[in-house]
């Protein structure tokens, strides 16, 4: 991959206010341009806000929506990773993220794992995505994860096996728990997960979490960029909006994958065989009978 400067845009979207949120994006993109960033990454549902509930059908965007096209035009000289509520063909609504480059959408990822526990009830509002696919950018191969996706180890593994060198991870993670002199406990837990992911997948991880308040929820921030050795390249504090830039050095990726050839040594055939066996056992799928060859 080529070395690239990536801006982490930790913003506080306004619930359901697309025009105000578009301006937040434009302001952050302006700051990123001044820092010579090649990519700007925003949080989960950055264009729409998170606790949408019954607003989803009203606020969801298709690829032909005028506001979506206006945002795409801002990617003429800097790539964008943006979260939004998507109305897909067949009027299916998804928690999605789009990668824009040179005025067009290069790739859309639809959140696969919709949390329905604790304070979360995303399955009520959205349909689950069904794919994890890496895609080609001007700087190299990348993959995208949305919040809960990152907590399932197979998600990042599939993307890296598909060629991803950068994992863009978008989140609307609320603050949960606090301890004296340690601050918000949910943010270090996220950082530990992401650091482990970067090391095990020998890939860059760029995590952007939102801040602000919605419907009684306080979103924590704590955005961070990590190199394939798990080292912090840039970070933002909790609870405060801001933009910072991390330089993702292609030579560091090369060194990490040479020192720790985990990707090279992965036995995909073994994984396929064992997952197939588990799938047959779990869902009681009959093993096909192969007829003997006629003598």
CATH numbers and ranges of domains, the chain: 4-260 (3.60.110.10)
Q: Whole-angstrom Cα distance, residue 53 to residue 47? A: 15
Q: Whole-angstrom Cα distance, residue 234 to residue 226? A: 7
Share above pLDDT 70 across residues of the chain, in percent, rounded to a whole number: 97
Q: What tens digit of pLDDT does each residue of 234-271 get? A: 999 999 999 999 999 999 999 999 999 999 999 999 99
CB 38 within 8 A of CB 79: yes
Q: Whole-angstrom Cα distance, residue 108 to residue 112? A: 12
| pLDDT tier at 232, thresholds 50, 70, 90 | very high
| pLDDT tier at 170, thresholds 50, 70, 90 | very high
Rounded mean pLDDT, 43-62? 95
| pLDDT tier at 182, thresholds 50, 70, 90 | low
Q: Which of 156-160, 180-184, 278-282 has the lowest mean pLDDT?
A: 180-184
CB 208 within 8 A of CB 237: no
Whole-number pLDDT of residue 288: 76
Residue 159 buriedness (CB in 10 A; 0-12 / 13-18 / 19+): buried
Q: Is pLDDT of 181 > 80?
A: no
CB 103 within 8 A of CB 54: no
Q: Whole-angstrom Cα distance, residue 235 to residue 224? A: 4
Q: Is pLDDT of 279 > 90?
A: yes
Q: Is pLDDT of 226 > 80?
A: yes
For 58, other C-beta atoms within 10 Å of its C-beta total 9
Q: Is pLDDT of 178 > 60?
A: no
Whether the pTM exceeds 0.85: the reply is: yes
């Amino acid at each position: 991959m080529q070395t690239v400067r990536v801006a982490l845009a930790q913003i506080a979207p306004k619930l359901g206010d697309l025009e105000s949120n578009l301006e937040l994006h434009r302001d952050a993109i302006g700051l990123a341009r001044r820092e010579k960033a090649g990519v700007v990454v925003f949080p989960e549902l950055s264009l729409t806000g998170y606790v949408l509930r019954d607003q989803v059908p009203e606020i969801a965007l298709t690829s032909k929506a005028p506001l979506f096209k206006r945002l795409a035009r801002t990617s003429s000289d800097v790539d964008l990773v943006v979260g939004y509520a998507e109305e897909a063909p067949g009027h299916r609504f998804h928690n999605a993220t789009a990668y824009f480059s040179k005025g067009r959408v290069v790739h859309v990822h639809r959140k696969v794992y919709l949390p329905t526990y604790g304070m979360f009830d995303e399955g009520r509002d959205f349909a689950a995505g069904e794919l994890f696919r890496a895609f080609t950018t001007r700087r190299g191969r990348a993959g995208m994860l949305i919040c809960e996706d990152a907590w399932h180890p197979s998600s990042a593994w599939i993307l890296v096996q598909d060629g991803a060198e950068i994992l863009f991870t978008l989140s609307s993670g609320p603050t949960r728990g606090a301890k004296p002199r340690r601050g918000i406990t949910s943010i270090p837990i996220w950082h530990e997960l992401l650091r482990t992911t970067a090391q095990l997948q020998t890939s860059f991880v760029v995590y952007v979490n939102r801040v602000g308040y919605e419907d009684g929820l306080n979103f924590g921030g704590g955005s961070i960029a990590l190199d394939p050795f798990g080292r912090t390249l840039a970070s933002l504090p909790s609870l405060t909006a801001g933009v910072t830039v991390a330089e993702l050095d292609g030579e560091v990726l090369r060194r990490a994958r040479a020192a720790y050839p985990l990707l090279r040594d992965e036995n995909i055939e073994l994984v396929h065989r064992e997952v197939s066996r588990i799938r047959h056992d779990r869902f009681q799928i009959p093993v096909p009978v192969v007829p003997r060859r006629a003598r």
